[in-house]
Amino acid sequence: MFTRTLYKTNVLLALALGCIPVLGSCNRASEGAEITVLYYAGVPLGQMMREEIPAFTRATGIRVTYRELPYDAIRQREIASITNRQGTYDVIFVDDVWMSEYARKGYLVPLDSFVTASKVDMNDFFESARRAEAELDGRIWLMPQRADVQVLFYRTDLFADPQHRRGFQQRFGRELRVPETWEEYREVATYFTDYGKTSGQVLWGSGETLKRPHFAFEFFAMRYWSMTGEQFFSDGGAPLFASPGGIRALEFMRSLAPVAAPGAANWAHDETVSAFSQGQLAMAPQWYDFYATLHGDTTLPIRNRFGVALVPGTRVGPDSVRRTPSIGGGSLGIAADSRKTQAAWRFIEHMTGPEFMARAALRGVIVPRRSSYADARVRQQNPAVDVYLQSLEMAWFRPRLVDYAEIEAMIGRAVSRGFVGEATPAAALQEAANEARSKLGTGGGM
């Protein structure tokens, strides 16, 4: 019933604009059309698309006005244009956590007919990327273009140092190694934090990224998922995260406060990556996209002294660890108020196509197509790419909620309060669960 209603809503909107995008009848001849693209500022793929536009125009005759905005401004600008039927943008960037809202509120043109007509092989996209960034309710809404995933950066020189290997063995009774579990992570972080204090070096064991609420949520999520094996909400929308397992996950986060760098509770990505790049952190869970910065800048003190590993997890058997990194990224879609859907699709098809993405991978850019990594030269540009690919295959995605941003803020604030001691983990999570239950009960649904 929902799918039929949404289809009817999109068709009615299309008729008001004078076309039926789901049937591909607008702009039957895209030759000579002009489209406007809105993308995320500062992303390497954006630079590549700008460089590619002249060739795209020569090949198709479609002129492109390319615009970028900071992340925080994109969603508001897109929604304002679509809901007011301004037709400002034809191709839009959509973060994976916005997909439910955009699809279920009719902000996007469904892409199924375009995908079928163009014979796009959706299986070439990693399954995690399709599920998080393209497919919902049996429809294709977006084309994945960028898929990031959480990994663990660590100081290889510290882990290989014989002094530290002896000291860690004496203290914890086991070999110093890149942690496989979160308990091992805490022990390693404790050792290096204590070493930093006694040696007078600026060194902390853990680099957390917990600025409230967005960052606190995403770096709590990978611990919560691995420790509970559950999503944040049931299929019916009931909050699950204030369960005993969720409380234990936040209690674990709280236990990291003494071994995390000072100020980590207010750090965003830039602060964590900067501290790690200066050699001040032994370990830092972070998004893989920052590998290119750490690996490519020859002036950094950390240059050639760091590695990338899978994020730790929770042991669920003698030989099994449940690791649950989060996937994060973005896709390209056609705005529901676009009057040039055929030309918009041709741009999306080109900029998410195998040829373009293969060239991006050769430049060290992370892309979600399997075939992009077939060229052996990719590993020369991106030596840690196998860790990225392995992490992507096991990634979990954040809750699919129409009002995701508000729900994320509720949980993220609870995580921050629990981490810094403003409230007990149990009280903080229960308050967030009550807020979420109230919000979801008034139409903010799944």
What are the extents of the domains in the chain? 2-141+329-394, 149-322
Spell out the long-range contacts of 12-15 with Cβ–Cβ below 8 A and sequence spacing 24 or more.
13/85, 13/106, 13/336, 13/337, 14/109, 14/336
Rounded Cα gap, residues 13 and 106, in angstroms = 9
- What's the topology of domain 149-322? D-Maltodextrin-Binding Protein; domain 2 (3.40.190)
Superfamily of domain 2-141+329-394: Periplasmic binding protein-like II (3.40.190.10)
pLDDT at residue 445 in the model: 56
Burial class (CB in 10 A: 0-12, 13-18, 19+), 44: middle
pLDDT tens per residue, the chain (446 residues)? 333 333 334 433 433 333 433 333 344 446 569 999 999 998 889 999 999 999 999 999 999 999 999 988 999 999 999 999 999 999 999 999 999 999 999 999 999 999 999 999 999 999 999 999 999 999 999 999 999 999 999 999 999 999 999 999 999 999 999 999 999 999 999 999 999 999 999 999 999 999 989 999 999 999 999 999 999 999 889 999 999 999 999 999 999 999 999 999 999 999 999 999 999 999 999 999 999 889 988 999 998 999 999 999 999 999 999 999 999 989 999 999 999 999 999 999 999 999 999 999 999 899 999 999 999 999 888 999 999 999 999 999 999 999 998 999 999 999 999 999 999 999 999 999 999 999 998 544 55
- Whole-number Cα distances in Å, 353 to 19, 119, 143, 261: 26, 11, 10, 42
**pTM, to two decimals:** 0.87
Provide the CA 116 distance to its chain's centre, in angstroms.
27
- Asked whether 409 and 388 are in contact (CB, 8 A), the reply is no
pLDDT at residue 111 in the model: 98
In CATH terms, are 2-141+329-394 and 149-322 the same topology? yes
Q: Closest Cα to residue 348, out of 330, 332, 367? A: 332
pLDDT at residue 72 in the model: 83
Rounded Cα gap, residues 383 and 308, in angstroms = 10
pLDDT at residue 78 in the model: 98
Q: Closest Cα to residue 168, out of 153, 180, 179? A: 179
Question: What are residue 58's phi and psi, to 5 degrees?
Answer: -60, -35
Rounded Cα gap, residues 439 and 429, in angstroms = 15
